[in-house]
Amino acid sequence: MIDIAYAEWLELGFRWLHLIAGIAWIGSSFYFMFLDYSLQPDENLPAGVKGASWNVHGGGFYFMQKYTVAPEKMPDVLHWFKWEAYFTWISGFSLIIIIYYWGAETFLIDKEIMDLTQWQAIGMSVGSFILSWIVYDRFCKAPVGKNDIALSIVVFLLILLAAYGFTHVYSGRGAFVHVGAVVGTIMVANVFLVIIPNQRIVVKALIEGEEPAAHLGAEGKQRSTHNNYLTLPVLLMMISSHFPMIFSNKHSWLVVGLVIIVGGIIRDYFNAKNQGKDGKRLMWQWPAAAIFMAILIVFISYNEEVKVAEDDQMGSTDVLAIIQTHCVSCHAAKPSDNDIGNAPGGVRLETLADIKKYRSKIMKQSVLTKAMPLGNKSGMTEKERKGVGDWIKRGMP
C-alpha cells in the first residue's frame, strides 16, 4: 500500500493536471463555439467558406475562416484539438481512483444508503461510465437524434436518471461527483469516438481527392454543441463536494436537474450573444436563470429547526464525547483513520475550544446536513446530531 502522504501528493498532482487540462479544453471549446457563431458571410471569401471572423488578441489581428466541410487541398500543417480533452479525462479518472475507489469506504459508500463492498462500489462505478456512453450514443444515432431539441430533452432525462440511480447507491458526495464524471466521460467520448474519428475520415477523403460526406461534420457539430451546453453544469458538479447543501439533500437528483437547466440557460445567453443576436433573444436568459436558481436555493435551503426536548439537552461534556467518537479519527493532528493523512480542511476537533471555533461549520456539516462524519462509518445518530445543533444554538453552555 502506498504511504498516505504520497497519496496526497498524487491527488494534488492529478488535481492540478485536471484543472489545467480542463481549463485548456473548456477554453478552446468556448473559443470555437464563439468563433462558429461569430462567422460573417462575405462574397469575397474562397469557395466552400461559410464565413469569416476578425479577432483581435494580444496585440495582433486574426482573420479566421470556416470551411463547412473542408478545404479543397489539405494544408501542410493542421492543428488538432484533442489532447486537452483526453488529459482532462485521464486526470479526472485518476482522481476517482485515488479518492473514490481507493478510499471507497470513506468517500463513496454510505451504508445507510446501500451496504456495498468496496469492489461492488467500484464495479458499479466503472459499469455506469460504460453504460451511460452506450445509451447516450445510441440515442444520438436513433431517429430522435435528427431533432436537436428532442434529443436534448432525452439527454437531460438520461442524466436525471443517472443522478437518481447514483443518489440511491452512493454517498451524496460520491453520487454528485459520479454524475459529473458520467457527463464528463460522455463529453470526452464525444471527442474521442465521434468528433475526431469523423474529422479523420474527412481529412483522409481529402487527401485521396474525394468529396467528404457532409453528415460527418454535422454529427461532430451536434456532439460538440452538447459538450458546450453541459460544460457549466459539470463544473458545478465537480466543485460540489465542498458544498454539503448541494449533495447532502434527500432529492439531490432534482438538484442535478436544476443545475443543468441553470447552466444550460446561461450558456445559451453567451451562444446567442456570440451570434450577434440582440433584443428579445438575449432578454430571457438571465431572469430565467435567476428564477431557477432561486427555486434551487429555496428547494435545498436548510431546515434550521434544531430544537430538542429539555430532557435531551446536552452540555459541553456530552458534545465533546460525541465529537470524539465520531470526528476525531479524522479531524486530529494525527488522524487514526487509514484514508486520512492530515486533519481535513485543517479542521481539528480535539478540544472544546476547537469545537467552539468551528461551530458554524459543524452545524452545516453534521447537523443541517449529514455530510460528516464521512460515510457515517461510526453511525452518528439523528439524536446526537440534533443534540449538538441544539447545544450550538443555545450558545454552547
**Which residues contact ligand HEC (rule: CB under 6 A)?**
106, 241-242, 323, 326-327, 329-331, 337, 340, 344-345, 347, 349, 358, 361-362, 365-366, 372-374, 380
Buried b (16+ CB within 10 A) or exposed e, 353-385: ebbeebbeebbbbbbbbbbbbbbbbeebeeebb
Give min distance, CB of 19 to ligand HEC, in A.
15
Q: How far is CA 352 from the centre of its chain?
A: 36
Distance, in Å, from the CA atom of 55 to the CA atom of 62, rounded to the nearest integer, reads 5
Distance, in Å, from the CA atom of 174 to the CA atom of 170, rounded to the nearest integer, reads 6
Among the listed residues 229, 249, 245, the one whose alpha carbon sits nearest the alpha carbon of residue 186: 229
Contact 157, 57 (CB under 8 A): no
Distance, in Å, from the CA atom of 239 to the CA atom of 57, rounded to the nearest integer, reads 31
Give min distance, CB of 388 to ligand HEC, in A.
8
137 vs 318, beta carbon nearer ligand HEC: 318
159 vs 327, beta carbon nearer ligand HEC: 327
* Contacts of the segment 63-68: beta carbons below 8 A, 24+ positions apart: 64/35, 64/39, 65/39, 66/35, 66/36, 66/39, 68/214, 68/217
Give min distance, CB of 180 to ligand HEC, in A.
15
CA R_g for the chain: 25
44 vs 317, beta carbon nearer ligand HEC: 317
36 vs 337, beta carbon nearer ligand HEC: 337
Give min distance, CB of 178 to ligand HEC, in A.
16
Distance, in Å, from the CA atom of 98 to the CA atom of 268, rounded to the nearest integer, reads 35
Among the listed residues 236, 234, 238, the one whose alpha carbon sits nearest the alpha carbon of residue 96: 238
255 vs 374, beta carbon nearer ligand HEC: 374
Give min distance, CB of 259 to ligand HEC, in A.
18
Distance, in Å, from the CA atom of 132 to the CA atom of 110, rounded to the nearest integer, reads 23
223 vs 385, beta carbon nearer ligand HEC: 385
Contact 372, 247 (CB under 8 A): no
Among the listed residues 310, 322, 307, 318, the one whose alpha carbon sits nearest the alpha carbon of residue 366: 322
277 vs 383, beta carbon nearer ligand HEC: 383
Give min distance, CB of 250 to ligand HEC, in A.
20
Q: Is the peptide bond before 373 cis (omega within 30 degrees of 0)?
A: yes
The residues, ordered by sequence, that sit 6+ positions from 25 with a Cβ below 8 Å of its Cβ are 84, 85, 87, 88
Give min distance, CB of 116 to ligand HEC, in A.
16
Q: How far is CA 306 from the centre of its chain?
A: 32
Distance, in Å, from the CA atom of 224 to the CA atom of 230, rounded to the nearest integer, reads 10
232 vs 349, beta carbon nearer ligand HEC: 349
151 vs 372, beta carbon nearer ligand HEC: 372
91 vs 241, beta carbon nearer ligand HEC: 241
Q: How far is CA 182 from the centre of its chain?
A: 9
Q: How far is CA 90 from the centre of its chain?
A: 15
Give min distance, CB of 334 to ligand HEC, in A.
13
